[in-house]
Amino acid sequence: MLVCPNSNCISHAEPVSSSFAVKKRADDIALKCKYCEKEFSHYVVLAN
């Protein structure tokens, strides 16, 4: 299960499952959190 790296994201405080939209960038893949709407490199999300 992936976890949003944003410590202020509501998914950390509420009993909800993380949800991400996958976005392709020119040289990377980004994941956008459904709840806080922040985008992160897939490396950041996978490291969590």
Q: What is the pLDDT of residue 35?
A: 96
Quote the pLDDT of residue 7.
94
- Range 10-47: architecture per CATH: Roll (2.30)
pLDDT of residue 21: 95
End-to-end CA distance of the chain: 10
**Cα–Cα distance measured from residue 36 to residue 28, given in angstroms and rounded to the nearest whole number:** 21
pTM: 0.83
Dihedral, CA of residue 46, residue 31, residue 37 and residue 44, to nearest 10: 30
The domains of the chain are located at 10-47
Per-residue pLDDT of the chain (48 residues; tens, 9 = 90+): 789 999 999 999 999 988 999 999 888 899 999 999 999 998 888 887
Q: Which of 6, 5, 4, 44 is nearest to 20 (CA)?
A: 4
d(CA 27, CA 10): 29
